Amino acid sequence: MVFISIDEVTPVVAAGGKLSATINVVLEEETFFKDIRVMFRGTSFTAMLVSNGSTTYQVSEHHIHVDRYFTLLPDNAGGTTLSAGRHTFPVTIWLPVYSDCKCLARVGEYPKFRFARSWNCVHSAAETGDFGRALLPPSLWASDNLKVGYRLAVLAERPGLFTLNKSKMIGVNVLPVAVIDEHVPNMDPLYIEERAVHSAKCDKLPETYFVNGALPKATGFRKVFSLSSKHSYVNVPMKFELVLGNNATVRLNQKIPISICTTIDVDDVSRIDGIVDARLVSLRLVIHSVTKGVAQQLANSNTDRQTIYDLKGLNEPLVPVLKSEYQQVPKYQMEDHLFEDAVIPGSLSPDFKVMSLAHFHILKITVGMKFNGGSTKYTELSHALNITSGLEYDVNEKSLLPPSYDPGNYCPANDNKSIDDEKLDFFER
């Protein structure tokens, strides 16, 4: 019997970094092998189910981002006999910084394949300059039809048509890097302003209140209700100022650089004082991970939502803050400590874009407020959030910079599942 195992595998490998593993071949008796081959391959897979009226078929695309292939038996002319017992082969594979898929450079040919069921990936480890080059994408599982997987496999081949070959395959988690060169990334903060109008119920206001600069009368059914009841309804114009630091870029396991300021958008505090009491009651941050795939120009997409932060039961009043000599408005600057636990999960796949597949993130913030103790009114703010691995590669030194956290925890959901679903014939050359 032949037993093969792949052990001591680097848990997470950075692009440009080193994958090491130990391959153990245990033999019950002396055995002749034609070859024992190792393959490391990273592929992205995009598929769409298409119906032409009578049949439904799958249109798919494979791209090969890294492809390494070598034998464990040196000087193996025609075959090698291994003795009974355990044979240990340490293997080391250096990952590229950039994807070896060169299809982006021939994207112009793409329309011709619009109705074809296959597109042949052209990949090569050779440098081709910046044109049509993409960074090595991270391991990703968005769905069975939108994924990137890296596999390390070993195949022991024995002679004879009817002899079973022995193979073993494992998934490897890969993270992309940012390339550090003379280009300095824009790290300025990003400002986003959102306005929302909520209605508030207050004590009956005389008609004389409603002059320019006052809170306007509520519209719709609340306006009608205001006429007959002992209450008045007013509209409360709100301004939300969201600041995302580092040009809305954040790495895995890092606190989101965020700050929010909420203001009642009128010029004069005397128009609000004693009329509207506004309080911040909840704060929720949700990350939408969007994966968009194209298979022969047919689009496919998937969105995963993950609540990373949910703060309830707040009771923070908006208090008048002197903005200038002339202007006092109720405003609430949400303190930094409120966002202390708003951290990017280490399992999210960072943003990337390769031929036929793109992955990016949107941060949605829901601010809950109460006006005069009424029901909670929600305002949603959203902006793209560029999630990076935080790992950096120095092109001049040709080496990875020390990571600022332990990337060993990166584990995109369902990676093992995608191994079972692997349709690609791994050892087909």
Least Å distance between CB 144 and Zn ion? Answer: 20
Q: Three-state DSSP class for 104?
A: helix
52-81 binders of Zn ion (CB under 5 A): 63
Q: Which is nearer to Zn ion, 119 or 410 (CB)?
A: 119
Dihedral of CA 356/185/240/251: which sign? Answer: positive
DSSP string, 320-353: EEE-SSS-EEEEEE--GGGGTT-B--TTSPPPEE
Binding segment for Zn ion (CB under 5 A), chosen from 3-11, 32-40, 103-111, 176-184, is 103-111
Q: Torsion angle of alpha carbons 193, 198, 203, 208, nearest 10°?
A: 70
Q: Which stretch binds Zn ion (CB under 5 A): 18-26, 115-123, 135-143, 237-245?
A: 115-123
Cα distance between residue 230 and residue 204, in whole Å:
5
Residue 106 CB, shortest distance to Zn ion, in Å, is: 9
Dihedral sign computed on CA atoms, order 372, 373, 374, 376: positive
Rank residues 101 and 175 by Cβ distance to Zn ion and give the closer one: 101
Query: Minimal distance in Å, beta carbon 339 to Zn ion?
Result: 40
Window of 99-107, 197-205, 379-387, 399-407 that interacts with Zn ion by CB under 5 A: 99-107
Looking at beta carbons only, is 63 or 147 nearer to Zn ion? Answer: 63
Task: Tell me the window of 86-94, 95-103, 216-224, 298-306 that interacts with Zn ion (CB under 5 A).
Answer: 95-103
**DSSP readout, 142-201?**
EETTEEEEEEEEEEEE-SSTTSPPEEEEEE-EEE--EEESSPPP----EEEEEEEEEEEE
Q: Which of 25, 101, 155, 334 binds Zn ion (CB under 5 A)?
A: 101
Q: How far apart are CA 397 and CA 136, in angstroms?
A: 19
We find the least distance from the C-beta atom of residue 109 to Zn ion, in angstroms, to be 12
- Binding segment toward Zn ion, per CB under 5 A, in 120-128, 161-169, 253-261, 391-399: 120-128
Q: Are 215 and 201 in contact (CB under 8 A)?
A: no
Minimum Å gap between C-beta 44 and Zn ion is 8
Nearer to Zn ion, 121 or 387 (CB): 121
Query: Nearer to Zn ion by C-beta: 63 or 359?
Result: 63
Member of 19, 103, 248, 269 binding Zn ion (CB under 5 A): 103
| Sign of the alpha-carbon torsion through 114, 116, 122, 123 | positive
Q: Which one among 19, 36, 121, 391 touches Zn ion, defined by CB under 5 A?
A: 121
* Angle (CA) 124 126 131, round 5°: 90
C-alpha span between 342 and 362 (Å, rounded): 14
Give the Cβ contact number of residue 297 at 10 Å: 13
Q: Which is nearer to Zn ion, 117 or 305 (CB)?
A: 117
Give the nearer residue to Zn ion in terms of CB position, either 103 or 385.
Answer: 103
Tell me the closest approach of the beta carbon of residue 296 to Zn ion, in angstroms: 13
Residues from 248 through 267 that contact Zn ion (CB under 5 A): none
Q: What is the size of the binding site for Zn ion (CB under 5 A)? A: 4
Give dist(CA 35, CA 74) in Å, integer: 10
Minimum CB distance to Zn ion, residue 63 (Å): 3
Task: Give the strand pairing for 352-354 and 258-264.
Answer: unpaired
85-93, 121-129, 180-188, 332-340 -> range binding Zn ion (CB under 5 A) = 121-129
* Closer Cβ to Zn ion, 132 or 320, answer by number: 132
Residue 248: in which H helix or E strand, if any?
helix 245-248
Q: Backbone phi, then psi, for 108, in 5-degree steps?
A: -65, -25
Q: Which two tokens stand for residue 244?
A: 């995302």
| Binding-site string for Zn ion from residue 6 to residue 45, where x marks contact by CB under 5 A and - marks none | ----------------------------------------
Instruction: For residue 134, state whether it binds Zn ion (rule: CB under 5 A).
Output: no
Residue 234 forms beta bridges with which residues?
Answer: 200, 217
Q: Find the shortest distance in angstroms from Cβ 396 to Zn ion.
A: 28
Strands 249-251 and 377-388: parallel
Nearer to Zn ion, 121 or 365 (CB): 121
Size (the chain), residues? 429
Nearest to Zn ion of 66, 266 (CB atom)? 66
CB of 35 vs Zn ion, minimal distance in Å: 28
Between 103 and 155, whose beta carbon lies closer to Zn ion? 103
Of the ranges 87-95, 96-104, 225-233, 253-261, which one interacts with Zn ion (CB under 5 A)? 96-104
Residues in touch with Zn ion (CB under 5 A): 63, 101, 103, 121
